[in-house]
Structure 1
Amino acid sequence: MRDAVGDGAVNGDEPSGKDLLYEQLKAYEGRPATTSGVGKDTVNEPMIRHWCEAMGDANPAYPAVAPPTMLQAWTMGGLSGHTGRTAAYDELFALLDGAGCTAVVATDCEQEYLRDLRPGDRITFDAVIESVSERKKTALGTGYFVTTRMDVRGGGELAGTHRFRILKYAPGARTKTPAGGTGARATGGGRPGARRPRPVVNRDNAGFWDGVARHQLLIQRCTSCSALRFPWLPGCNACGSPEWDTVAASGAGTVYSYVVMHHPAFPAFDPPYAVGLIELAEGVRMVSNVIGVPYDKVRVGLPVSLEFLRVDEDLELPVFRGSGG
């Protein structure tokens, strides 16, 4: 079955000839998404402090300056949105929705920092639809990647650029289990035969994954100031020293915060399921699945204990079992 856009359809059989939908979408490249946007708050110390506490960032440079990665936070409009938003983005989404690309997932973001943002800076910004990809087939479904570029200014000076990329796609069909469910829960994978995404292992975190293979959850410890840190980093974010060793976590912790994942569906997962920010007994925090209790029973402060879950023949992951599970 073909969509009303003819050769631009994304559902059904692979179309032949030109992708007419893509030609329509391509016309939106370069069009403004927001003009003369203004941040609802000036850069301020309370927001910087809350951010640093949530991220576990004890860098002494803050809050005299804002962490660079807060760049997008100052532009967020909340539920009421921002003035300056143009119709172009909504029109683009309407075209995609009309072609069956009704689902959306954020895929990645890129930031470039040009100057520090300091308390008192008034934030202004402009955004443009930078690019729309050709039609792509993904594990989630077939659709188009849309990249938006936002230029952020502080006190009238360009402070940084934020690129945000989404996939707007037509969801693929999900396999049902005989009991009427949609496959195993996130603890054991979703669709039969589907594999979890592979973690990115590099020279900075290879030691962590070596520890997981030995059923140890290793935390970095700075050998200069003894500060513990997680996730693994090449240097200490407290004193800057590049020298470190490791300590093994006891496995005890509590749920510091959490989300319940409902959408989008990914073949190796079966929502809804809980993902927690776990505060370990050692004081550092990490993100992982909360298992052993119903997703709607997970709560802040729930005691959890470490387990290692084998999800396929060559991937084992640290997860946390809630008390009572």
Structure 2
Amino acid sequence: MSEKAGAAVSRDSDDLYERLKAYEGLAAATSGVGKDIVNEPMIRHWCEAMGDTSPAYPETAPPTMLQAWTMGGLSGHTDRSSAYDELFGLLDGGGYTSVVATDCEQEYLKPLCPGDRITFDAVIESVSARKTTKLGTGHFVTTRMDVRANGELAGTHRFRILKYAPARQKPKVQRPRPVINRDNAGFWDGVAEHKLLIQRCGLCRTLRFPWLPGCNACGSQEWEAVEASGAGTVYSYVVMHHPPFPAFDPPYTVGLIELAEGVRMVSNVIGVPYDKVRVGMPVRLEFLRVDEDWELPVFRGTGS
């Protein structure tokens, strides 16, 4: 690209960004109403799926269900604003036609209880300047949703996506990185030292995995990290054949491993042909280097 053409592209990008910024602060959804009141069956299904056995549920809903009560399902919602559609139209028109969710943040202000009627409003909180990522170049769009229970603010949900133009160059093949935050950083620090760390509640001494800020048995936020022995068995597993992804070599086995300590974690089962993995198979922890600066805990089959 010539210097003149490059300058023209830069000007067009700057002009588009100014138009995108004008949508900050505008409504993304107004007067939204949850399709269902907070109810025990949905709470029970969520807790079963998450393995959460806290006695607090279903008298109250798990706080992390905050967004679930606002979802429109397959039929969607009719309360999305024209500003939100216009913003996405501008991004599509600028060539940023692909989309990927990047992260979300939630704040909890009051518990939700069965019978609560959920309403919500959402605002386009920010649109970033053009960013270049491994996926491609685009703009991050953050929306903030205020969720109310019977008219009282119960929490906020920030959701961030990247609208991008796919990179033309084939990116370097690399295993996806986990999202590391203040709640799970200690686990990944342990992995870097070849330790598999699980949490133990400081109050009721219940072991838990994955890492959480509070105990799902008693609710205490006091905890300590303990090193697992690395022994375990295959509790369940799936064999991945599709979709193909350049960083992986299908078919491969993803197992739900029950550690000797009693907690379970998801990881790859290695050292055994995918069609020979069985429920109850003993496994032993290893650390697999997947690239020059990243290792992951995996489990090698040790025979029946």
Fold match (TM-score > 0.5): yes
Alpha-carbon RMSD across the aligned residues, in angstroms, is 4.1
Closer, same or farther in 2 for the Cα pair 1:141/1:270, shift >3 Å?
Answer: farther
The within-5 A match list for 1:29-178 is 29-175=24-170
What is the aligned partner in structure 2 of residue 229 from structure 1? 208
2:9 to 15, 18, 28: 15
TM superposition score normalised by structure 1: 0.73
What is the aligned partner in structure 2 of residue 186 from structure 1? none
- Alignment partners' CA distance in 2, 1:302 and 1:97: 50
Indicate conservation of the 8 Å contact 1:278/1:287, yes or no.
yes
The aligned amino acid for 1:17 is R
- Alignment partners' CA distance in 1, 2:23 and 2:98: 20
- Alignment partners' CA distance in 2, 1:271 and 1:116: 44
- Alignment partners' CA distance in 2, 1:203 and 1:48: 23
- Alignment partners' CA distance in 1, 2:97 and 2:204: 51
The aligned amino acid for 1:119 is P
1:217 to 183, 191, 196: 196
The aligned amino acid for 1:251 is G
Unaligned runs of 5+ in 2: none
Q: CA deviation at 1:152?
A: 0.9
Q: CA deviation at 1:66?
A: 1.2
- Alignment partners' CA distance in 2, 1:50 and 1:63: 10
Q: CA deviation at 1:288?
A: 3.8
Closer, same or farther in 2 for the Cα pair 1:293/1:54, shift >3 Å?
Answer: farther
Q: CA deviation at 1:199?
A: 6.8
Closer, same or farther in 2 for the Cα pair 1:202/1:151, shift >3 Å?
Answer: closer
- Alignment pair present for 1:247 and 2:228: yes
Q: CA deviation at 1:94?
A: 2.3
State the secondary structure of the residue aligned to 1:54.
Answer: helix
The 10-residue stretch of structure 1 (34-43 or 245-254) with the greater mean CA deviation from structure 2: 245-254
- Alignment partners' CA distance in 2, 1:28 and 1:153: 24
Indicate conservation of the 8 Å contact 2:187/2:196, yes or no.
no
- Alignment partners' CA distance in 2, 1:323 and 1:303: 8
Paired residue total: 295
TM superposition score normalised by structure 2: 0.77
State the secondary structure of the residue aligned to 1:129.
Answer: strand
What is the aligned partner in structure 1 of residue 296 from structure 2? 317
Closer, same or farther in 2 for the Cα pair 1:272/1:154, shift >3 Å?
Answer: farther
- Once the two structures are aligned, what percentage of the paired residues are identical? 62
Q: CA deviation at 1:87?
A: 2.8
Unaligned runs of 5+ in 1: 176-189
Q: CA deviation at 1:249?
A: 3.8
Closer, same or farther in 2 for the Cα pair 1:271/1:128, shift >3 Å?
Answer: farther
